[in-house]
Amino acid sequence: MLKNLKKKLAVSFQDWKFAIYVMHLVNGIAGGLVGIFIPIYFLTLGYSLSQIFIFFIVNNFAILLFSLTASWFAKQFGLVKTLLLRLVFLFLNLFLLYNLKTLPNSFYLISVLSAAEIAFYWFTVHVVFAKSSEIESIGEHVGKLAVIPKMASLVSPLLGAGITALFGFRALFLFAGGAFLVSVVPFLLIEKIPLEVKLNFHGVVDYIKRYKKYFVAEFLMSIPGEIEGFVLPIFLFLTFRDVLSVGFLATCLALGGVVLTLLVGKYSDRVSRKTFMRIGSVVLIAAWLGMYLANNQLSFYGLSGIIGFFGALVFVPFSSIFYINAKNNHVEDFVIFRELPISLGRILLYVTALFLLTNIKLTFLFSSLPFLFFLFY
């Protein structure tokens, strides 16, 4: 009976996109439980804001390096083993997080292990998704991929906040670990996916020359996502001293974008992507300026909903452009190349944040930069 069930599931998972969707959903639930709370956890253990920003600087340097490592490993051993190795990094990371109070010297090692698991996961997701999607309908596929973690975030951050409030951070890490373990199951059932990686220094330079505007766009787009995911939650926690407010913030960001993400994905293959991006950019510039001026929790939650809602107008079309560019070139190499501007943008943000420790709210203004750029993209 179990053998027949596995056979039936294997047939379903031969559609690589389906396997990606299922894995991404489970991973989104697990990631939503812990991701946004990790810097809050560090603060509760007595780590300073500057140490946390340095943690993220190290993390993004390491992601860039591990993206190259992930591509080499995937070429040698396949994507399934790449995901399994990702789980090794992930569980080592959760183990050290769980024991950080008694192993304080592992703080920056956690940063490196986190980078490894992120790089190994996203290299696999991007490569498989780009290879298995058709350009004609790629916007619709991107909409589905993008909405999955948003749907998970409707519940998981509040659940994570509840677990933390009732049982503590250590219980949260154990709960998330079980969910992460389940996330890799879909890929155990799919056939081998062919890979070829041949990126070198000259290849990177060539991509930068041919995709100057895209390179700048990825560099800038890394900033608001990082502020939403980490800087804004840190600010809220330091201001209101309430872990539940952080969970509710993540839910507002997700709630705003769920419906519109699917709609934009569906119609971005028919309507000009630049039109969507420009409309969204106007609203997001105003929303982030409002976020800087906001001074109460209700304002932050309302603006987060607006950012989540209209962010889909920019994120989905721009992600579609990435996958189209990847398909028009060498997929594996373009995925690695893309990590360069993203990592550099995030590193610049956190280096700047180190100089704004007494007023990190100023970083909210930086979130308007990419949307100013997209008005003329």
Q: Tens of pLDDT along the chain (377 residues)?
A: 445 544 444 444 456 667 777 777 777 777 776 777 889 889 999 999 999 999 999 999 999 999 999 988 988 888 888 888 998 998 899 899 989 999 999 999 999 999 999 999 999 888 888 877 777 777 777 777 777 767 766 677 667 777 777 788 788 788 777 777 777 777 666 656 666 666 666 777 888 899 999 999 999 999 998 998 889 888 888 888 777 777 777 676 666 666 677 677 666 667 678 888 999 999 999 999 999 999 888 888 889 888 888 888 898 889 888 989 988 888 888 998 999 999 999 999 999 999 999 899 999 999 998 899 998 87
Residue 254 domain-assigned (yes or no) = yes
Domain that holds residue 285: 14-188+200-374
Domain count, the chain: 1
Residue 280 domain-assigned (yes or no) = yes
Residue 45: phi and psi, rounded to 5, are -90, 0
Residue 8 domain-assigned (yes or no) = no
Residue 68: phi and psi, rounded to 5, are -65, -40
User: What pLDDT is recorded for position 76?
Assistant: 85
User: What pLDDT is recorded for position 271?
Assistant: 67
Residue 7 domain-assigned (yes or no) = no
In this structure, are residues 218 and 42 in contact, taking their beta carbons and an 8 Å threshold?
Answer: no
User: What pLDDT is recorded for position 5?
Assistant: 45
pTM of the model: 0.86
Q: Is the dihedral of CA 82, 142, 60, 359 positive or negative?
A: negative
User: What pLDDT is recorded for position 341?
Assistant: 95
Q: Is 45 strand, coil or helix?
A: coil
What CATH number does residue 122 fall under? 1.20.1250.20
Q: How far is CA 140 from CA 47, 143, 144, 324, in A?
A: 42, 5, 6, 13
Residue 5 domain-assigned (yes or no) = no
Return all residues near 98 (Cβ < 8 A) that are at least 6 apart. 170, 173, 174
User: What pLDDT is recorded for position 256?
Assistant: 62
d(CA 172, CA 190) in angstroms, rounded, equals 31
Residue 264 domain-assigned (yes or no) = yes
Residue 6 domain-assigned (yes or no) = no
d(CA 175, CA 163) in angstroms, rounded, equals 9
The residue to which tokens 């309908």 are assigned: 137
In this structure, are residues 310 and 276 in contact, taking their beta carbons and an 8 Å threshold?
Answer: no
Return all residues near 313 (Cβ < 8 A) that are at least 6 apart. 260, 264, 276, 277, 279, 280, 281, 283
Residue 325 domain-assigned (yes or no) = yes
